[in-house]
Amino acid sequence: MQLYKYIYFFVIVVLLISCEKKNKLDIDVSAIDIDVTVERFEKEFYNSAAENLPDLKQKYPLLFPLSTSDSVWVAKMTDKDELELYSETQKLYDDFSDVQEQLTDLFKHIKYYYPNFKAPTINTLITNVDYENGVVYADSLLLISLDVYLGDTSKIYNDFPKYIKDNFKKDRIVVDVAEAIAEVQIPPSNDRTFISKIIQEGKKKYLLDAYLPTISDALKMGYTQEQIDWADVNDEEVWKYFVQGELLFSTDQELNRRFLDKAPFSKFYLENDSETPGSIGVWFGWQIVRAFMEKNAISLQEMLGTDNEDIFKRSKYKPTK
C-alpha cells in the first residue's frame, strides 16, 4: 500500500510539472481593459450608391487612393463579380462578433507584455482574394480582407493551390493578425546566415505562443496536425541534414526557397520530399527559441533583442529524438 502512495504522489507531481510547463504563457488577461472598434467598410461600400461615395471617401480616406478615379469606385459598387464575392463573405461574416472577441483577447495579451499598446481600429473589406495582404497592420489601423478567409472548400478558391488555400479559413484570422503585429515588434537582423534567419522566424512564432497561448501549434504554424507530427518524428534526421550539409551558417539565398518560404513541401532534393511540410526551417527556428526561453530567465522583450546566434548557442538545442 505504501508503494502505491509513492506512485500516486509521483504521478501527481509529474502532471503538475507538465501542466506548469504547458501553461507557462497562459496568463490571465481578464482584468486588462482595452477598447476595440470594428468598422465594416465592405458592408457600407457595397450597400451604397454613387451619390454616397463622397461620404465614404471622407470616412475612409486611407482606403481611397488619390490615384484612383471616382468612376472606378462607382463601377466596383455594381460589378457582378465583386458583388458575388461580397455576398460570399457575408454568409460567413455578416456577424463579426466572434472574430472581434478573439481579436480583443489577442490585444489584451499584447497589452500585457506591452502596456503602451493600443488596439488598432479594425476595418473589414474585400480585396479580390489578395492573400499576400490578407491582414495589413499599420499601428492605429488594421485591415482584414474577409474574402481571404472563406474556408478552404469555398468555390472562390478553386484555382488556388492546396497548400495556399488550406489556410484560407476563419480561425486563421487571429493568427495572421498576431503575426502582422509581431512582425513590427521584432528588431531586424543583418545576419544573413541560415541559422539567423530561422531564429528570426522562430522569434515571431514564440510571440504567437505568448499572444495566443490556447491556439494549437498546427494553426500557429499553418500546418495540419499530421505535418506537426511529421516534424516531431523526423526532427533528428532533418537537423542532421542541416548540420552535415553545413547549412546552418551558410548564406546561400536558395535556402530561403527550400526551407523558409511558403511551399507545398520542403526541398531536401530527396525522393520523399513531397511527404515533408513546407517551411520546415521556420519550425526549427521556433523550437530553438522555445529551448532558449526554457533555459534562460529572460523577458519577452529581452529575447527579441538578443542576437540570433547568441540565442542558438544558449538554447543548447537538440532534437527530441
Task: Domain ranges for the chain, please list them.
Answer: 38-185, 194-315
What is the pLDDT, as a whole number, of residue 24? 80
Q: Do 146 and 124 contact (CB within 8 A), yes or no? A: yes
What is the pLDDT, as a whole number, of residue 201? 98
Which tens digit of pLDDT belongs to each residue from 39-90?
A: 999 999 999 999 999 999 999 999 999 999 999 999 999 999 999 999 999 9
Cα 63 from Cα 41, distance rounded (Å)? 9
What is the pLDDT, as a whole number, of residue 20? 43
- Whether residue 8 has pLDDT greater than 90: no
Q: How far is CA 54 from the centre of its chain?
A: 36
Q: Is the dihedral of CA 277, 278, 281, 287 positive or negative?
A: negative
- Whether residue 21 has pLDDT greater than 60: no
3-state SS, the chain, equals CHHHHHHHHHHHHHHHHHHHHHCCCCCCCCCCCCCCCEEEHHHHHHCCCHHHHHHHHHHCHHHCCCCCCHHHHHHHHHCHHHHHHHHHHHHHHCCCHHHHHHHHHHHHHHHHHCCCCCCCEEEEECCCCCHHHCEEEECCEEEEEHHHCCCCCCHHHCCCCHHHHCCCCHHHHHHHHHHHHHHHHCCCCCCCCHHHHHHHHHHHHHHHHHHCCCCCHHHHHCCCHHHHHHHHHHHHHHHHHHHHCCCCCCCCCHHHHHHCCCCCCCCCCCCCHHHCCCCHHHHHHHHHHHHHHHHCCCCHHHHHHCCHHHHHHHHCCCCCC
**Residue 73 cell numbers, joined:** 469606385
Q: Write down the mean pLDDT value for the chain.
A: 93
Classify each residue of 80-106 as buried b or exposed e, where b means 16 or more C-beta atoms within 10 Å of its C-beta: eebeebbebbbebbeebeebeebbbbb
Whether the model clears a pTM of 0.85, i.e. scores above it, the answer is: yes
Q: What angle do CA 155, 157, 160 make, to 5 degrees?
A: 145
Which tens digit of pLDDT belongs to each residue from 224-260?
A: 999 999 999 999 999 999 999 999 999 999 999 999 9
**Residue 281 cell numbers, joined:** 526551417
Which residues are 122's β-sheet partners? 38, 142
Which tens digit of pLDDT belongs to each residue from 203-228?
A: 999 999 999 999 999 999 999 999 99
Which residue, 226, 189, 224, 223, is CA-closest to 204?
189
What is the pLDDT, as a whole number, of residue 11? 44
Mean pLDDT, residues 153-161 taken together: 95
Cα 92 from Cα 149, distance rounded (Å)? 9
Mean pLDDT, residues 183-192 taken together: 96
Which tens digit of pLDDT belongs to each residue from 115-141?
A: 999 999 999 999 999 999 999 999 899
